[in-house]
Amino acid sequence: MIDSTKTYNKAVADEVLNGLSQKHKSLPSWLFYDEQGDRIFQQIMAMPEYYLTDSELEIFQTNKAAILSVFKGVSAGFNLIEFGAGDGMKTEVLLKYFTGQKANFTYKPVDISASVLEQLTERMRKSVPDLAIEPINKEYFSALEALNVDRENPMIVLFMGANIGNFELNEAEDFVKKIANALRKDDQLMIGFDLKKNPHMILEAYNDKKGITASFNMNLLTRLNSELEADFEPDRFMHYPYYDPQTGTTKSFIVSKEEQSVNFAALNTSFSFKAWEPIHVEFSQKFDEEMIVELATKAGLSVERYFYDEKKYFADVVLKK
Ligand code: AVI
């Protein structure tokens, strides 16, 4: 029974109650991103092993003119909707260039977190003062619905940074389908995909030598300790990622190093762990062109253009109806 006198985040509690009572325990990766998790993620993006950030940044720096001409292909004016912009470091490259070229567009970042949006808006106001920006503090799909009422200009939806890889493949299909349903003939969707490559390199990106990714994942336990009054002892667990080069799936686990029980005082419940029992905490799917085309086709979209970095580690792909 949940004690209704205590205040805690219900979404977090529901995930724990559901995920830890399964035969194969799992917790969703969005739980990584509390304040401390956001900070560690910034460190991950700056690590030498985490090639994803530099690769996508290179794509934007090298192809910003070509990207603008693809976006302007159907109409001089457009709405640029971004899902999950994070700190906006990479998007800023495009926004600066587009604004410098006097492109007629409004940047509409969408985020459920008001504080994330505030920080992003402040950053863009300072670094791209001429930018027309209208932040939308909504869940992604209610934002798309609202944007679809009475609009003249086409919309271009950005979902970058390999965020698509954090879904399981069938969930990614549903997600792209839902976006596709809101798109009209002249609209576009640009998705950032991390690509299949040397398996050692991929694994290292999720298992860096300094243990930054390990601390990112283990922070999940600390979060549950403070938010749900749990008594996880992080030293009795370990971070374990693996990459399957056949499917392109990276999976990360938090593994219990011994038999133990963890109490969640706020939930009046405890969960037991066998020695070496894993909690699956993250998918990071890697793609190839065939998989990208399949994903697009299932959503009723086709590929308009691939943009790659020089080493072909990453692709930003423009899709349309
Ligand atoms: C946010 N996302 C694209 C990252 C990824 O690569 O899957 C999250 C991450 N997890 C561990 N390192 C980075």
119 lines ligand 1 (CB under 6 A): no
Reduced to 3 states (helix: H, G, I; strand: E, B; else coil), residue 226 is: helix
Token digits for 127?
Answer: 């670094």
Whole-number Å distance between alpha carbons of 294 and 192: 15
The per-residue pLDDT of the chain, averaged, comes to 95
Residue nearest to atom 6 of ligand 1 (CA): 284
Query: Is the pLDDT assigned to residue 309 strictly greater than 70?
Result: yes
Mutational pocket test of ligand 1: of 89, 116, 206, 242, the residue with most ligand atoms within 8 Å of the beta carbon: 206
284 lines ligand 1 (CB under 6 A): yes
Query: Is the pLDDT assigned to residue 83 strictly greater than 70?
Result: yes
Token digits for 48?
Answer: 């030498």
The CA 284 to ligand 1 mean position distance, Å, reads: 7
Provide the pLDDT for residue 279. 98
207 lines ligand 1 (CB under 6 A): no
Q: What backbone phi and psi angles, to 5 degrees, belong to 132?
A: -85, 115
Percentage of the chain beyond pLDDT 90 is 90
* Count of beta carbons in the 10 Å neighbourhood of residue 3: 10
For the CA of 52, the nearest atom of ligand 1: 6
Residues 17-76 pLDDT 10s:
999 999 999 999 999 999 999 999 999 999 999 999 999 999 999 999 999 999 987 667
Provide the pLDDT for residue 150. 79
Reduced to 3 states (helix: H, G, I; strand: E, B; else coil), residue 294 is: helix
For the CA of 284, the nearest atom of ligand 1: 7
162 lines ligand 1 (CB under 6 A): yes
Whole-number Å distance between alpha carbons of 86 and 111: 9
pLDDT band for position 6 (cuts 50, 70, 90): low
Residues 235-272 pLDDT 10s:
999 999 999 999 999 999 999 999 999 999 999 999 99
- 273 or 6: whose pLDDT is higher? 273
C-beta of residue 79 within 8 angstroms of C-beta of residue 106: yes
The CA 247 to ligand 1 mean position distance, Å, reads: 17
The CA 44 to ligand 1 mean position distance, Å, reads: 8
Count CA within 13 A, CB hemisphere, residue 135.
20
85 lines ligand 1 (CB under 6 A): no
Reduced to 3 states (helix: H, G, I; strand: E, B; else coil), residue 227 is: helix
Residues 89-124 pLDDT 10s:
999 999 999 999 999 999 999 998 888 899 999 999
Secondary structure element (H or E) that encloses residue 280, with its range: strand 278-285
Query: Is the pLDDT assigned to residue 1 strictly greater than 60?
Result: no
pTM value?
A: 0.94
Task: Assess: ipTM above 0.90.
Answer: yes
The residues with which 314 forms a beta bridge, in sequence order, are 194
Mutational pocket test of ligand 1: of 38, 39, 44, the residue with most ligand atoms within 8 Å of the beta carbon: 44
